[in-house]
Each structure stands twice: as structure tokens, then as C-alpha cells.
A and B are shown apart, each in its own frame.
Chain A
Amino acid sequence: MVALFCVIGVFLGKWQNASRTAGHLDPISRFTQAVVGPLAGLFRSSENGFAEFMQGVVRASSLAAENRKLRSQVAAAALYLDTERLLSQRIEDLRKTLQLPPSGDRGRIPAIVIGYIPYENRMTLNAGKAQGVSVGHPAVTGDGLVGVVQTVESGTCQVSLVTSPTLRIGAMTQNEHPQAGLLKGESPDRLILEFLESGQAVKVGDWVVTSGFSERIPRGIPIGRVNGLENTQDYGAKKAYVFPSVRIARVQEVFILK
């Protein structure tokens, strides 16, 4: 009986891998998510509601002060957005004057995290094909890159997190001599950036951002800061250890960049 279950498991795994390679979920995973998803959403909203209620009770006075501060920040942000809109318009006008193609502003799809599996470095979001999500789109928060969409269904998608050892992202340091490389995850608080060329000046504390050498992931999305360096002289390459800027366990909402 146990052997039979194991054999079934092997076949299910092969079926799942074949479906994932094709960019979609296998029927079993789809069915499971359809059954468990609504219940998980209920648990999540209850847990959030309870946590917020308790936080409100404990921190009522400081929340009122925080609320006032946030209102003034919203007013400042509205001013900033107006300026940003004007400057963007100027950039587009100048590009037109120089006969350059339009910069192609990317659409953003808001999505809520409906599942997070730290062991597997994956997240399930409540946006899918119906909202225009497709495989390879980056998911971001205000703090930086969260991950890349791996499979898409009609109303949900799965994101492979930036901390995943199996995900490779083109990244570069943001300093006077930017150096590009490939970034992969190692653990929840450490990513590894393997540079394509060695000998360049990279310092601890430098920001690492997406390199943009991809059709889907634009340049300049923050990933984290360098917190360690390693020279691997055998290959003439240099590795940098990066502390991710996004605290993934706390992420509740993301934007998917089209």
C-alpha cells in the first residue's frame, strides 16, 4: 500500500513538472488550490483582523499620532506625484524631439498574497490571466523585488520568490562602476550575486538592483544591499552576498509589473 502511494506520488510529480514547464498548474494543484484557497483567505482575513484589533487596543494613542503623520505624508506624496507626472511628460516630449521610441510605461496589477510557503520560496497571489498576468512578470512592493511569476491560472498565480535558489535574476550593483551578474537565493536573509566579470569595485553597503537585461523585468528595481564579498579566484569571478530589501514574510500586497 505504502509502495503504491509512493509510485502514485512519483507519477503525480512528473505530471506536475510537465505542466509547470508548460507554464500552468497541473489539474491536481489547481483543484487543491480552488478548494483550499477560499478557506485560507478566510483564515488569513480573520488572523489579520484579530492582529489589527489587538494592535489597535494596545497602541491606540500612538496610532492616532501615526495617522496624523501619515495624512501629512499623503499630502506631500500627492504633490510629488504631480511633479513626477509633469517630469515624465517632459521626458516623453524630449524623446519625441530626439526621435526616440516612447519609454513604454509598464502597467501595474495590484495583487494580494493569499498563500505563502516559506519552505518552497513561493507565494500565491489573487491575480491571474484575467488580470493580465503572465509567466515571467516581476512582483514588487515599495521596498523592492519580491519574485517572478512562475505559473498562472485564470484568477491566481504563483510567484517564485527572490530568495529561491532555483530562480536566476539579472542584477547589478548601483554605484559609480555598476557591475552586472546573476542573482540567486540562498536563504531568507541571504542572496548570492555572481558577477560576470571580476575586479570591479563593489563595496559592502552597495545597493543591488535588477539589471533589466530581460524583456520582462525592468531595470532598477531594488533587490537588496551587499553585506559581504567573496573572491573565487579559480573562476576569476567575484561573489557578493546580498541582504534582501523586502521582508517577504510580512508582505501582504504586491504589484505585478506587466
Chain B
Amino acid sequence: MKGLARVAFCIGVLVVASAMQIAVAAQISIFGATPDFILAAIGPLSVSISPRGGAAVGFLGGLLQGALAGADLTHYVISRCLAGFFTSLTRGIGLELSIAVIAVTTAACTIVGQLLLMFLAPPPEIMRFVGATIGTAIYNGVIAIPLYMLLRRLFRPK
């Protein structure tokens, strides 16, 4: 998959993730941890593309998340854009992208995105927010695995 098809696929994944985020995320919490499907999609997508692409994926993810939440778009766009960009940099450090690495990278992407959001728009209870972020990061790390396996199959050069 190349060029426009890859871009369309990334947009499609983010749209589906956004729909799942507002429709089912709150209902499938485990031990109080709720997934963040958009960050769970930004993680594997960013790892699979260039840093510029990672920033673009983060930008679009933040735009979708902020627009759907009715939240301040600035906070979501900046936090997700930077999270996508930093996540995509992991390609450059020579790590072999195994399933474990993807899970950890996505969890880290979630933590970075949420911590940036926390600094941009401080929530009323910081410790509760940090606790929820850790739970979300673990959840996202698990969700990222099947998505990455799909991406690896689709993005592999023929």
C-alpha cells in the first residue's frame, strides 16, 4: 500500500477509532481503565510512517478527538500532534518493531499525549488523571497489537 491509499487508510483508521471512542470506550473499561482508541491508533500508525507523517496523524487524531469531545481543539491538536511526532521518532533509533515494542511504544505515546494535554489543560484532580492515564496506556498497549499486525501486513512493500 502506497501514497494516497496509505493516507486514506490512516484517515479511515482514525475515523473508526474516533467512532469507537465516543460510542463504546466508556462501556468497556476494565478495573477503571478506559481505552483511548484514538491514541491507540496514533501509536501504531506513527511508528509505521515518517516523523512528518506521525505529526500529521497526530494532528488529525487530535482534531477528531477535540471536535467530537467539544473540547478545546488547540489542546488536543497540539498534544496529539507532538505525541504522534515523538512516537514516529522511534523508527530512527533502530529498534526492531516487535509486538512488545509496539505495545510499549503505544503506551508511551498515550502517556506523552495525555501528559501534554494535562499541562495544556490542567484537570481538577491531577493524581486521578495520572492514574487514569496509566490505566489507559496499558489498555492502549494491548489494543495496538492487532492494529499493528494489520498495518504490517498492509504497509509491507511488495
Which positions in A face B, CB cutoff 8 Å?
1-2, 5-6, 8-10, 12-14, 16-17, 20, 25, 28-29, 31-33, 35-36, 39-44, 47, 51, 114-120, 122, 124, 150-151, 158, 165, 185-187, 249
The B interface, classified by DSSP as helix, strand, loop or mixed, is helix
- Apart from A31-B67, A122-B71, A124-B70, what 20 extra A-B contacts exist at CB < 8 Å? A6-B81, A9-B63, A9-B74, A12-B74, A28-B73, A32-B18, A36-B22, A36-B68, A39-B16, A40-B19, A41-B23, A43-B23, A114-B23, A115-B22, A115-B23, A116-B26, A117-B69, A118-B34, A120-B71, A124-B22
Number of B interface residues in the complex (CB < 8 A) = 41
Q: Is B124 an interface residue, CB under 8 A from the partner? A: yes
Complex contact B81–A9 (CB within 8 A):
yes
- What is the bound-complex CA distance between A249 and B71, given in angstroms? 18
Complex contact A9–B78 (CB within 8 A):
yes
Complex contact B59–A8 (CB within 8 A):
yes
The A interface, classified by DSSP as helix, strand, loop or mixed, is helix
Which positions in B face A, CB cutoff 8 Å?
15-16, 18-24, 26-28, 34, 52, 55-56, 58-59, 62-64, 66-78, 81-82, 85, 123-125, 128
Within 8 Å CB of B58, what residues of A? 5
Q: Which residue of B lies closest to A35 (CB)?
A: B15
Within 8 Å CB of B28, what residues of A? 47
Given that A9-B74, A9-B77, A12-B73 are known contacts, is A32 also in contact with B19, CB under 8 Å in the complex?
Answer: no
Within 8 Å CB of B68, what residues of A? 29, 32-33, 36, 115, 117, 124
Complex contact A47–B24 (CB within 8 A):
yes
Within 8 Å CB of B125, what residues of A? 186-187
Q: Which residue of B lies closest to A119 (CB)?
A: B69
- What is the bound-complex CA distance between A12 and B24, given in angstroms? 27
